[in-house]
A and B are shown apart, each in its own frame.
Chain A
Amino acid sequence: MNDYIAILLALITIIIVILYYLEKNKYIGLEKTNRRLQDIINQLDSQAKIIIKTDLALNKVQDELDKKITGLYTLHEIGKKISSTFNIEDMFVSINHPLVSKLGFSKAIIMLKDSASDAMMTKTAVGYSDNEIKAIETELNQARFHDLFFKKGALTLVNRGEGVVNQEDDLLDLFKTESFLTTPIVVKDDAMGFILMGNTSSYAKVTEGDSELLSILASQIGTSIENTRLYTELFNSHQALERRVKERTAELAKLNEELKRLNKVKSDFISAVSHELRTPLTSIKGYASILMTGKLGEVTQIQKERLEKIDKHSNNLTHLVNNLLDIARIESGRVQMDIKEIPIKDMLDSIVDIITPQVKEKEQTLKINTRAKIDKIKADSGQLERVLLNLLSNAVKFTPNKGRISVDIDEKEETVQFTIEDTGIGISRQDLEKVGQEFFRADNALQQNIKGSGLGLSLVKKIIEAHEGKIWVESELGKGTKFIFTLPKIQKG
């Protein structure tokens, strides 16, 4: 029995020992697993730190990039605004709170030197009260900070606590910022003022990356100030020029009025003289006729010849006086054109009938070419016949025997064009401009003793102009002359 108990105890002891060893191994295993788990967790945390580090760096780059893109976009917008105005004050109004905030700043100030006093004047300020602006102006006008603001082309970045010297520290207090960036505004190589932008929060400090934006803005403002100055100069000189042109126009208008007045005096004078001439002329002609009849005594052949000359010259003089009177009347508007629709063919036939004897006498040929489709024209028939007769008489008169004369009628856009062409003596180039002037007679006509008063063409010109038409002449000395005049077409409907 004791043996059994001893064996049992021995077995139990062996089992306990085995179990103890098993448990001990299991504990060691768990401890190992725990340690491994802890290592994994620590590795996980280390990896998390690496991820965070990388992520932070990426975010920083992305933030700077985003800020730059927003800044450049904003500068583009403001650039458009600035360049669209030539008023300096308007330009500064657009640099306002939203714009400054969008660029990533909470405060901004732009100061320019006053051209008269050389004192710094605030043009625009964001984030400052009126009293703060006054305090800044007072402080800056003591010239203490002059070098810092007017270092040509230099950007100054000041961050509180980052190695700033006393003067810069004072400026941080003066501008009530934790960091700021400033750059001069340069106009034509002269620093005219400065722009300063800054932040009040120590968490949003101004960085080197902002300096580029501020430089661009300062340069835009400088260019704009220069452009505005140039524009103002140009505008002022343009105004002065306009003023001078106005003055000259007024002077010319005055002279024109004077000319009109003188012309009227001339017309009135001609009219009056003509009237005064006509009455005695009528008497002269009348008495000459009575004398020629022999009622007042017998008239000898010599006396008759002299009386006939008196009658002929009286007629010429009457014709001249009548022409003068007509010119004066048309000029003064006293003659009303009796405008009616006239059949062109009938009018031309009548003229041809009148002129044919003269043409035949000089063995000339006269051709009428009507290419116009329209058959009527609006005109004063009496006056138009006078024009054509005058021009054709001239053509006959100045064309040698067996010469050619033609009348062409064409349609030209809104007008009907009459061309009276001859193969006559022509007009010299220097005389062409004077054709139509009252009493003008071309040199070659005078040399060849061709008679005329120099009033016919002047009258023709006045009649055509009274019809709202145009007349001009083309000629070559010794080859012939072309008188062309147009009259408005009859409007359909």
Chain B
Amino acid sequence: MSTIIGTGISTKLDSLAAGKEAALNAYYNLGRYDPDIVITFISTIFEQGEVIKGVKSVIKDTSLIGCSSIATISTHGPMRNSVAVFAISSDSLGFSCGKNLRISQNPRAASHKIAIEAAKSTNKTKNIFLMFSDCLSGNGTDIIRGAQELFGTSFPIIGGCATDEMLFQKTYQYLDNNVYTDSAVGLLVTGDMAKGIGSASGWQPLGRPHSVTRARSNLIKEIDKKAASEIYQDYFEKSFEELKKERISRLGINYPIGLLENKQKNQCAVRMPLRIEDDGTLVLSAEIEEGEDISLMIGDKDLVLDSAKKACLEALGNIKNKTARFALVFSDIARLQLLRKDAREEIDVIKNILGKNIPIIGCYTCGEYAESRFNNHDITITVFAE
């Protein structure tokens, strides 16, 4: 049997019914096998608790993990305003979960605890750690670091940050019957199944480089010895008040900050501004170092679609000659915002490379965990193979 994925999607405008429908479809697609774990992604247009109740009424005691997302990703492509339920049945993989609340207080310690909780119930070979956290709760680098303290810096950590309908107000994380916010949940996958990870963003620098002259953790105090917010004030020709009123994260989706020297695979690391403090400090989604050269970034449809291809080929290259069985795909909401109706093409690119019938489990996130790093505006593809 190995590993079988049952996929169920619902767009019913009734929270409880949508949860039930998606879960029933996932169960139906799983055939005669019982699920070992259920991963679910739910749009925030739904009443979260009601959807989970609907899903649980079908899957009963099976563990459930997931997060809210603006759109789900499956073999059927991206789907906004939907509920996606992925039921996994496997005789080669094991699953154990962990969670922690109020992660904004100490993201690093929180994710460390999640990792410990997920790992304590198993002594099997650890394969990969899948994590979903609140995108509004701060430093993504710290979150990944906390988990790495237990698993080691080379242990693969994937996943991403939960989103709402691009309002950046409230996101949700799920574990079993519960719906949390300002939290993170983690799923430790055990077993020897081979996997390959690939990630890329495709975002490009725009305008001249700037220097971070004062920064700490995920806060940029000054750029070019001026209040950090001035970079956006200058480029967008808006006053500080206007910028605050408009919400910086809405601008940051399309125009994030790129770290010019922090390059991986020839691409700048990308950070998204979450908010502006009253003194003009920019609060970013992850860490940045003082003295670093940065630039405003911009996306281009073709480059972004090309980056999906690159990420997929990289993941495929990492499984060597093994056969792909299923894939986890987390694409940044910025890509959805840029590609809009063409977002389907991004998933088609992956399907064309992996094969049309390879099950895809995923959603749109606001910041992605890929291997040992956190980045924004990426697509990360993890291919499991045998």
Contacts and interface: CB of A to CB of B under 8 A. Distances in A.
Given A97-B15, A203-B247, A203-B250, A55 B298 contact: yes
Given A62-B340, A97-B47, A201-B167, A49 B235 contact: yes
Interface in A101-144: 101-102
A258 interface: no
B13 interface: yes
Contacts of B29: none
B254 A97 contact: no
A98 B45 contact: yes
B44 A101 contact: yes
Contacts of A350: none
Given A52-B255, A62-B340, A44 B207 contact: yes
A477 interface: no
Interface in B162-186: 165, 167-169
A154 interface: no
Interface string B13-27: 111001000000000
Contacts of B206: 48, 51-52
| Chain A at the B interface: SS class | helix
Interface residues of A, number: 30
A98 B235 contact: no
B15 A98 contact: yes
B246 A44 contact: no
Contact of B245 (A45, A48, A202): A202
Given A45-B207, A202-B245, A102 B81 contact: yes
A42 B234 CA distance: 12
A57 interface: no
B294 to A, nearest CB: 14
Contacts of A52: 206, 235-236, 255, 296, 298
B265 interface: no
B208 A41 contact: yes
Contacts of A98: 13-15, 18, 45-47, 81
B247 A56 contact: no
Interface in B188-219: 206-208
A432 interface: no
Contacts of A201: 167, 169
A69 to B, nearest CB: 9
A53 B250 CA distance: 15
Interface in B4-51: 13-15, 18, 44-47
Nearest to A40: B208
A258 to B, nearest CB: 57
Contacts of B296: 48, 52
Contacts of A62: 340
Interface string A67-80: 00010001001100
Contacts of A202: 245
Given A48-B296, A97-B15, A102-B13, A55 B44 contact: no
A66 interface: yes
B237 interface: yes
A406 interface: no
Nearest to B246: A203
Given A51-B298, A203-B250, A97 B46 contact: yes
A483 B293 CA distance: 114
Interface string A296-312: 00000000000000000
A99 interface: yes
Interface string B44-84: 11110000000000000000000000000000000011000
B238 to A, nearest CB: 10
**Most chain B CB atoms below 10 A, which of A48, A70, A78:** A48
A78 B206 CA distance: 43
Nearest to B46: A98
Contacts of A97: 15, 45-47
Nearest to A73: B81
Contacts of B245: 202-203
Contacts of B47: 97-98
Nearest to B209: A41
Contacts of A42: 208
Contacts of A41: 208
A59 interface: yes
Nearest to A53: B237
A33 to B, nearest CB: 17
B254 A45 contact: no
A45 B247 CA distance: 23
B203 to A, nearest CB: 13
A169 B246 CA distance: 21
A289 interface: no
8 contacts: A45-B235, A48-B207, A52-B236, A52-B255, A55-B298, A78-B13, A97-B15, A98-B13
Q: A-B pairs with the 6 shortest C-beta distances?
A: A48-B207, A101-B45, A98-B13, A203-B247, A41-B208, A45-B207
